[in-house]
Structure 1
């Protein structure tokens, strides 16, 4: 297998791991533990479902690990096609990973407080979950930002369909805007959700393309068989 294909497929596999851990941790486990507006219920959930709460912390740590590895492999994949944009993927993605790491620390603290109460444990636990959720909310800024250089790399390299590149850029801008709309217009959740749709489409398209196709054939024709990436001359015009 060509080195470029191996790099692309490993990137896709890591990206898929990021998507799965994110869905399980933030979309599945968190809602089962956090009761908005009811601190007592949140505390009871953590005490009654300690294993689930700890699994939630572990999944957020896995999100950090898969995010860090994904950005590293995206940089490896695109570094010769567009060095600046590849660096942007790495930088913005790592900031997002640090945001999730902070959220994991808050969730771990919430579990500790629930099991060994300090003061008003219900209020403390609720605040910790609220801060964790808002870290994810403000972290949408960098989640959107990392998709924009990813789209630029797709367009510059020509290794993948150009519509994918534009969808990633549009999705990144939409996700970036969703963070501001979510806080400026808190009742406009429908608009926030709509703004994130292009990003979701672009991400799953990218994951599927990396895993199934890797890169287009012309990129392999112009890349040395032992090189991890092709030169900028591989751009499709």
Structure 2
């Protein structure tokens, strides 16, 4: 018999999945950061990243230049593509898009908005008590992020300027929202109602951004200037 050598290990094992999940939750992120968090060597992480790039499940962008860095090639940051996000599942597919198209054709804009509002109520209502029990705007934002993560949105918060930024690193309905932005608009309004303050959507996965980013002021909205929001983060764009 011809010796074919040792059996090859599956190329898409738990380590590859762990690397992909970090890109989902934190991307754009560097190979060094991924290696540190997973306690792996940088060369090992780069092999997984190269495989994700080859499969069109990840892409790169240049990291912001740091003056002290000196000469040399700009550092690369990695994030998942739409194909990479798909491995973590989508709540809707082409059938859902077709169904909402039919709803729009037969019931018009009002029917699509009513559907979006009902869906968002189903999403946020189970978490109203937990978010409402939080004392400060920061704690409310964190409670909302926890609720969204439980619903599959891989959400987190971070302090930016005079407010909090809610980042949803995954969107189960991105395919549908890309064609029907009413879903994003109604979701934003529901967040404002839940948090009891004006919020501003800065970026969305449906529009091609790395994450859905929402600015939450730490003080109640009261002036027109507050509506302008903070500077848009790197890689983001207004929704």
Same fold (TM over 0.5): no
Bigger strand fraction: 2
TM-score under structure 1 normalisation? 0.24
Task: Indicate the structure whose relative CO is greater, using CA pairs within 8 Å and at least 6 residues apart.
Answer: 1
TM-score under structure 2 normalisation? 0.24
Bigger helix fraction: 1
